[in-house]
Structure 1
Amino acid sequence: MSMTLASSPAPAHPDWTALTTEAAALIESEPTLAELVRSYFPKDGTFSLALCSLLADSLQAPSVGKGVLESLFQDVLAADAGIAQAALVDLQAIRSRDPSCPSYLHAFLNLKGFQALQAHRIAHYLWSVDRNEMAVWLANRVSVVIGADIHPAANIGEGVMFDHGSGVVIGETAVVEDNVSILQNVTLGGTGKVGGDRHPKVRFGVMIGAGAKIIGNIEIGANSKVAAGSVVLKDVPPNCTVAGIPAQVVRIHDARTVPSETMDQSL
């Protein structure tokens, strides 16, 4: 088990009760949002239904309305219960890592990186059952509405935080393992017209700083950190920080350090 070096303990894992409690408090304190929040968190609701409604609200299009998308999303989450469970783990990751996030509900309602990742999980499922055109349409809709461009075939673990989510680009054969933090304008891209397995593999516990570009079928080793603005063109060993253009190792970490959790962006 990894060791978190944060100065305060992580909040408890979110569940439906925690979210509905926070929702009730928001309804009381901000009447303008009361109807919206009640629509996601009725007394007889579930987290899966709330997530489907939220995403359908965000991603509906003129000819593909909320009801159509919500029904599709509900079917997908019913077929793969792991999607909702991963979303709860993602919420816990955001709440524990982002100092500007005051609650699970805040992350759920307002953080587009969270929404982009959950929509990707649905698109990835659709891709896996050969509904490729639907998967690509949904991925493109996420790109247009939210600003994160993630190929539906990309494999992304749980406990992942897209901080802001704007400008994130993740290619078809990329892998992002559990417990990774990715800041804005990060690219996990290919090198050009090379086919096959051509995108980065980001291992457990990695933090990738804003604007970093990681190019090609290379590996970012577990518990390593890519500094903001770096361009990474070769494998990165575990437990280190890389920086620069092209990126070079500038620091070796204690093996217990998990950059995705500490969110320490210093070199």
Structure 2
Amino acid sequence: MAEAAIMASDSLWRKLRSEAQCAAAADPVFGKAVAGAILAHDDFAAALADLIGQRLGSGSTERARFTSFARDAFRSQPDLIETAGRDLQAIALRDPAIAELLPPLLHYKGYVALQAFRVSHWLWHRGHIDTALLFQNEASNVLQISIHPAASIGSSVYLDHATGIVIGANVVIGDEVTILQNVSIGRTSELPARSPRIGRGVFIGSGATILGDISIGDFAKIGADTVVTSDIPAGCTAVGNPVRLTNCPEPASAA
């Protein structure tokens, strides 16, 4: 993804507010919800923290608690907001069904679940284990997406459709990865139990399963319902069960 296509969080916030103002003017009914979600806040961090609280909390007390934890994380680690902005813009760049930023922010549960994970990851690495697991549990219950706080996920990541995604502890996912629904990424029962490492720009199709101490190379593609338990070279497409490779780049020596 070209760096020039990525706006800083301040510019992104101005664009979101502009989109929200247009939406509110065009639809008085929808406009009330937009005003509460976007226009009532001073910056992107406040709006995103409130959105996480609203989606994860089942009552006013729980919503306030989740919002407070998210605000603390964003205040303590501002690059979480820059990453959240990159994730949001990745959706607009890769999803042909949308052209604006406001709809995925307000309505794409994969985006909210990913930002809730980033807060839980921040909590986990500061020793707040129970609270981090609470974020994971509520995201799993409410959004049907379970990402362990001990996973590591890069920026500009897009969870498309997202229902049924499970990402286990210590999984490593690089930048610019796209993951569709019903994907499982985690460890096997074999010891030592180690987790997959997903490279930059990887596309993972719906229903795929990626297990064990393996690496998926940069810009590889994993087909729908594929089961992967061994390394996939960079640039290759993996399909089927047992897996087979197609469309691999020619070796440099052959070129």
Query: Structure 2-normalised TM-score?
Result: 0.91
Unaligned runs of 5+ in 2: none
The reply to whether residue 192 of structure 1 matches residue 189 of structure 2 is yes
CA distance change for structure 1 residues 34 and 190 in 2, over 3 Å: closer, same or farther?
A: same
The reply to whether residue 78 of structure 1 matches residue 70 of structure 2 is no
Q: Quick one: which amino acid aligns to residue 205 of structure 1?
A: G
Identity, % of aligned positions = 35
Three-state SS of the structure 2 residue aligned to 1:15 is helix
* Whole-angstrom distance in 2 between the partners of 1:49 and 1:209: 33
Three-state SS of the structure 2 residue aligned to 1:252 is coil
Q: 1:46 aligns with which of 35, 43, 46?
A: 43
1:87-109 deviations in Å (ceiling 9; x for gaps): 10011110010011231001100
The reply to whether residue 142 of structure 1 matches residue 139 of structure 2 is yes
8 A Cα contact 2:237 2:247, kept in partner: yes
Larger RCO of the pair (alpha carbons < 8 Å, separation 6+): 1
Bigger fraction of residues in helix: 2
Q: CA deviation at 1:254?
A: 7.9
* Whole-angstrom distance in 2 between the partners of 1:254 and 1:31: 57
8 A Cα contact 1:149 1:170, kept in partner: yes
* Whole-angstrom distance in 2 between the partners of 1:118 and 1:242: 29
Q: 1:107 aligns with which of 86, 104, 126?
A: 104
The reply to whether residue 58 of structure 1 matches residue 55 of structure 2 is yes
8 A Cα contact 1:214 1:233, kept in partner: yes
Q: Quick one: which amino acid aligns to residue 206 of structure 2?
A: A
Equivalent residue number for residue 231 of structure 1: 227
Three-state SS of the structure 2 residue aligned to 1:65 is helix
Q: 1:218 aligns with which of 214, 217, 221?
A: 214
CA distance change for structure 1 residues 193 and 137 in 2, over 3 Å: closer, same or farther?
A: farther
* Whole-angstrom distance in 2 between the partners of 1:3 and 1:107: 20
Unaligned runs of 5+ in 1: 5-9, 256-267
CA distance change for structure 1 residues 44 and 190 in 2, over 3 Å: closer, same or farther?
A: closer
The reply to whether residue 15 of structure 1 matches residue 9 of structure 2 is no
Q: CA deviation at 1:136?
A: 0.3
Q: CA deviation at 1:159?
A: 0.4
Count residues with an aligned counterpart. 248
8 A Cα contact 1:233 1:246, kept in partner: no
